[in-house]
Structure 1
Amino acid sequence: MKMKKLISVMLTGVMAMGLLAGCGSSSESAEEDSSEQAAQEETQDDTEETAEGASDAASGSGNVLIAYYSATGNTEEVANVIADATGGDLFELEPVEPYTDDDLNWTDDNSRVSQEHEDESLRDVELVSATPENWDSYDTVFIGYPIWWGIAAWPVDSFVESNDFTGKTVIPFATSASSGMGESGQLLEEMAGTGDWQEGQRFRSGADEADVQEWVNGLGL
């Protein structure tokens, strides 16, 4: 009888050890499955982030901004070429009270631009929006404008005065039928008081796209 009891106790111990081993194996297997799943999810997240980054780059949401005021469309055309060449974002400076063709008739002493030219107090042109979204994310800012009486068209002044250009490279560009850049870039730099302002470039009205691209390529952005 004692022998049978001893054998029975031994068999019970062996079975218990087997159950414990099985439970341990199941636990380890569950842990391995959980770790593998976590690794797969992390890899998937990394892949999605990479894809999102590539999508952002392809859509032109980089660190270049092209802000411009265009009275007759010439500056807008140049701005579009710069945007295509740099992958930058466009930001049009739109006066709350848009300029009409009559307003822009500089040969008429009574036109809006003529009156504003004669009286600087009238040049405070309110913009629909003076600061683009994500302003702080831009490292390089192009500022485009037509030349009015040898200086930048004053709707641009509101944009320059409204923003902090600290840490940004600022590149002016202008369009005109005959006038050069003059001191337009320097005057805007003085107005801004911040930023690393570069020498600007003037393009003739109806500028050739190749000329604009060549200039942008030469900037080494």
Structure 2
Amino acid sequence: MNLKKLFSMILVGVTSIGLLAGCGSNASDTQDDSAQAESQDNASDAADEDGQDESSDAAVTSSGSGNVLVVYYSATGNTETVANYIADAAGGTLFEVEPAEPYTDDDLNWTDENSRVSREHEDESLRDVELVTTEVENWDSYDTVFIGYPVWWGIAAWPVNQFVESNDFTGKTVIPFCTSSSSGIGDSGTLLADLAGAGDWQEGMRFRSGVDEADVQDWVNELGL
């Protein structure tokens, strides 16, 4: 083999080695770029998830921000039980309407024509029941007011009348609810709205005696407060 041919072979070998080295370097760079891009995408996804979580938390925090008041008169405890269920479900504050002269069991015996409720039913002038108080602390701060009562002769038990007449419901959403063993809510809510003369009075709900808490909670949730 002459020197010229040998020199050519050596030159070809050196060139091949250089090309292989260059290809290996490019392949490595491509893998690094791919890994970096994947890392950036993962970081972006994580940031999006964090943003979604923060947005969800903010929505939960802001929901149910309205102030809710649950006003009730309870003769035998049934309405009080429902009022407590509503307050728990809506995050509301309770206010009990209390007659200055509480009704006894004998007073509530509607089958006795001489009982207190029977006499008040027959003579509307006797239905102006004096209450311990009609004033609610921070009344103006409540934008939703539930009004609860038992049904007496198809209407709201009249001890709530004094409370409704004594307070200004302007700008408030008012939701009546009642308890009874058989009677429906009828026009009781409408009649209270007429007494109030103000407020956005909604259709009310009647609950049977001994209603399950879950049923009351479902109703409150449907209101979307």
Q: TM-score range by the shorter chain?
A: 0.7 to 0.9
**Equivalent in the alignment of 1:64:** 68
Do the aligned partners of 1:69 and 1:92 also contact (CA within 8 Å) in 2?
yes
Unaligned ranges ≥5, structure 1: 1-56
Write out per-residue CA displacement over residues 136-187 of structure 1, whole angstroms, 9 at most, x where no aligned residue: 0000000000000000000000000000000000000000000000100000
Matched, 1:89 2:93: yes
**Equivalent in the alignment of 2:135:** 131
Unaligned ranges ≥5, structure 2: 1-60
Shift of 1:61: 10
Shift of 1:209: 0.7
Find the residue that maps to 1:165 and give its secondary structure. Answer: coil
Do the aligned partners of 2:169 and 2:199 also contact (CA within 8 Å) in 1?
yes
Shift of 1:62: 6.1
If the length of structure 2 is used for normalisation, what is the TM-score? 0.71
**Equivalent in the alignment of 1:109:** 113
Structure 1 residue runs of 4 or more that deviate by more than 3 Å after TM superposition: none
Residue identity in the other structure for 1:113: V
If the length of structure 1 is used for normalisation, what is the TM-score? 0.72
Find the residue that maps to 1:142 and give its secondary structure. Answer: strand
Shift of 1:207: 1.1
Do the aligned partners of 1:63 and 1:140 also contact (CA within 8 Å) in 2?
yes
Distance, in Å, in 1 between the alignment partners of 2:116 and 2:189 is: 23
| Structure 1 residues 62 and 133: CA distance shift in structure 2, 3 A | farther
Distance, in Å, in 2 between the alignment partners of 1:163 and 1:107 is: 33
Do the aligned partners of 1:123 and 1:154 also contact (CA within 8 Å) in 2?
yes
**Percent identity for Structure 1 against Structure 2:** 81
Residue identity in the other structure for 1:83: A
Do the aligned partners of 1:61 and 1:88 also contact (CA within 8 Å) in 2?
no
Do the aligned partners of 2:66 and 2:144 also contact (CA within 8 Å) in 1?
no
Distance, in Å, in 2 between the alignment partners of 1:61 and 1:121 is: 41
Distance, in Å, in 1 between the alignment partners of 2:135 and 2:168 is: 10
Find the residue that maps to 1:170 and give its secondary structure. Answer: strand
Matched, 1:210 2:211: no
Matches within 5 A, 1:155-166: 155-166=159-170
Determine which of 64, 74, 81 is the counterpart of 2:78.
74
**Equivalent in the alignment of 2:196:** 192
Distance, in Å, in 2 between the alignment partners of 1:111 and 1:119 is: 12
Do the aligned partners of 2:150 and 2:179 also contact (CA within 8 Å) in 1?
yes
Do the aligned partners of 1:61 and 1:87 also contact (CA within 8 Å) in 2?
no
**Equivalent in the alignment of 1:12:** none
Residue identity in the other structure for 2:122: E
Write out per-residue CA displacement over residues 76-103 of structure 1, whole angstroms, 9 at most, x where no aligned residue: 0000000101111000000000000000
Distance, in Å, in 1 between the alignment partners of 2:120 and 2:216 is: 30
Determine which of 176, 179, 191 is the counterpart of 2:180.
176
Distance, in Å, in 1 between the alignment partners of 2:136 and 2:198 is: 18
Aligned residues: CA RMSD: 1.5
**How many equivalent residue pairs?**
163
